[in-house]
Amino acid sequence: AQTVTQSQPEMSVQEAETVTLSCTYDTSESDYYLFWYKQPPSRQMILVIRQEAYKQQNATENRFSVNFQKAAKSFSLKISDSQLGDAAMYFCAYRERSGNTPLVFGKGTRLSVIA
Amino acid sequence: DGGITQSPKYLFRKEGQNVTLSCEQNLNHDAMYWYRQDPGQGLRLIYYSQIVNDFQKGDIAEGYSVSREKKESFPLTVTSAQKNPTAFYLCASSPRRDTQYFGPGTRLTVL
């Protein structure tokens, strides 16, 4: 079974600085999706970024980018120019490419942003 | 307005009662999912449905039941057999082979 591991339960960053959240996963599949979701205090799950495993280019969305290392099964999220609104729980998730299989989530990293 | 709605936002249950959480989507998504979130546990899958009139158990299905009679609706019933139901419940949907989108959640508390 696939597993997703987030080894940092909590992280903090100064406003305007850069922070990287780590995620590793285990799978025997060669084609899959990886995601980062953000959960602010409202508890609404918000998609931050999505990566398709067959694409070698790392995904980028404004201040958010990933470092996808397929061989190492690593998928880290980099947040540049951190803002107070970035404070939230961040979840890494994996999904097989075939069918509508459910997401497999890590346990999350709580990010604090210090003014 | 397109999206996923969950109701109620807060729900209180007495011991021994069954309660039903609503999840509706007007995005024409094929698949729908129910997750439970406890502090420090991330999200755990309860049930999912890839098509109308079909659903599969997830990792923690005991004490829960679902139905999928319409594409738009995937209600979750928390039965009295669920011994520790206090948690935050999230519903999600996805089009075929794509990202999951989440509703705003329901907070269930047992009194």
- Which residue in B28, B99, B107, B108 has the most chain A C-beta atoms within 10 A of its own C-beta, making it the best mutation to test that interface? B99
A-to-B residue pairs, Cβ atoms closer than 8 angstroms: 49
Residue A32: closest CA among chain B residues belongs to which residue? B97
| Of B42 and A8, more confident | A8
Q: To 5 degrees, how large is the angle CA A110–CA A25–CA B41?
A: 40
User: To the nearest whole number, what is the mean pLDDT of chain B?
Assistant: 92
Cβ A43–B41 below 8 Å, yes or no?
no
C-alpha distances (whole Å) from A83 to each of A17, A54, A61 are 9, 31, 15
pLDDT greater than 60 at residue A5: yes
- The backbone region for A44, taken as left when phi is positive above 0, alpha when psi lies in -120 to 50, beta otherwise, is beta
Chain A residue whose CA is closest to B58: A102
d(CA B104, CA A97): 26
pLDDT of residue B1: 57
Q: Residue B111's beta-bridge partner residues?
A: none
B104 touches chain A (CB under 8 A): yes
What's the pLDDT tens digit per position in B29-76? Answer: 999 999 999 976 789 999 999 999 999 999 999 999 999 999 999 999
Asked if omega into A102 is within 30° of 0 (cis), the reply is no
The CB density around residue B28, as the number of other CB atoms within 10 Å, is 10
- d(CA B42, nearest CA chain A) in Å: 4
pLDDT at B48: 95
B11: exposed, middle or buried (C-beta count within 10 Å: 0-12, 13-18, 19+)? Answer: middle
pLDDT level of residue B97 (50, 70, 90 thresholds): low
- Residue B52, chain A, CB below 8 Å: the answer is no
Is A36 in CB contact (< 8 Å) with chain B? no
The pLDDT of residue A8: 96
Distance from B90 to chain A by nearest Cα, in Å?
9
